[in-house]
A = this chain, B = another copy of it.
Amino acid sequence: MSFPKYVKIREVGPREGMQIEETHVATENKIRIIDLLSECNIPIIEVTSFVSPKWVPKMADAEQVAAGFKKFPNIKYECLYLNAKGIERAQATGKFDLDGVLSITASETFSKKNTNLSIEETFNEMEKRIQTLNDYNVPITTLAVMTAFGCTYEGDKNPKQVVNLISRSFEKTNEFGIQPSNILLGDTVGWANPVTTEKLVALLQDKWPDKNIVMHLHDTRGMGIANAYVALKMGITQFDSSVGGLGGCPFSGAKGAAGNIATEDLVHMCHELGISTGIDLDKLIDVTREIEHILGRDLSSKVAKGGTLDSYRQRATS
């Protein structure tokens, strides 16, 4: 396959990054980060989580963050929620057009640790979840598979098992006459390599040629951008990433491990490969510096320090 002409990037730093960040980030700084990211014209920004402050205290200011950020007309703002309460809180802010996501986890142990449900229990709960989303008129757009490539508790995942879980999920949604258009593959703790990425994506493209595959890659072991390259080569047009490589997973097994693939490194590679993203990369690099200042630490992305090749090309030819 050949590269797509355009890739849609969802920035998950304000949600996934802020959730795991050790530094306390003041609400006004969270809002400032979101507004700065909007100025870079990132097409989708995941803003916050409407979850219990008892479990995720860092997201206790979700309402204030939602009230504070400025909506830009061409940007879609998303948020995470786990139940009816979360939907109500998110809808009450009036800031989000909610998308419905059905999540399953390929690893039994990870599923229990992260969601308190086994895989079978997740399937049992799925009907209730669909019902709740229907009750609140939230369109079910996405089936998300977490730890799709493997996890620290159970090791490698057989891609056929993942295909099987996705099939079962679609059978459930079909019972409700619902066909989510997106399959999100989450490499939640950085288990994928370029070959396993190619294998799983090929299986999915073969079985569900009409579905849109979204890659949620982590750079835990330094292969994130290589995996993204392979996915791009297979025609994947949607990616999650985080500014500066913020984020990570509390169940990755290693404190201080790298988080999501960095938005600016992904955008830079896309632009170098002739794939447009609509994102203002120079501005995004400035935003990375600003976030480093806010967090008081260096971020792990590369292009923010090395500079874009385009900036050197302009100087070279002028």
Contacts and interface: CB of A to CB of B under 8 A. Distances in A.
Nearest to A228: B226
Given A253-B307, A254-B307, A306-B190, A226 B313 contact: no
Nearest to A313: B155
A193 B273 contact: yes
Interface string A280-318: 000000000000000000101111011111001101110
A265 B223 CA distance: 8
A222 B302 contact: yes
Interface stretch (A55-63, A130-138, A176-184, A256-264): A256-264
Contact of A312 (B226, B230, B253, B309): B253
A186 to B, nearest CB: 16
A219 interface: yes
Interface centre among A254, A258, A306 (most CB of B within 10 A): A306
A306 B226 contact: no
Interface of A: 150, 152-156, 190-191, 193-195, 219-223, 225-226, 228-230, 252-254, 256-258, 262, 265, 268-269, 272-273, 298, 300-303, 305-309, 312-313, 315-317
Contacts of A256: 305
Nearest to A190: B306
B268 A221 contact: yes
A148 to B, nearest CB: 15
B313 A156 contact: yes
Contact of A257 (B150, B193, B228, B307): B307
B313 A269 contact: no
Contacts of A222: 225, 262, 265, 268-269, 301-303, 306
Contact of A226 (B150, B191, B226, B258): B226
A221 to B, nearest CB: 5
A302 B272 contact: no
Contact of A305 (B156, B191, B228, B258): B258
Interface centre among A226, A252, A273 (most CB of B within 10 A): A226
Interface centre among A154, A223, A257 (most CB of B within 10 A): A223
Given A225-B226, A226-B269, A257-B307, 13 more contacts: A152-B312, A153-B316, A155-B313, A155-B316, A193-B269, A220-B302, A221-B306, A222-B302, A222-B303, A223-B229, A223-B269, A229-B229, A257-B302
A313 B157 CA distance: 11
Contacts of A150: 309
Nearest to A268: B221
Nearest to A196: B272
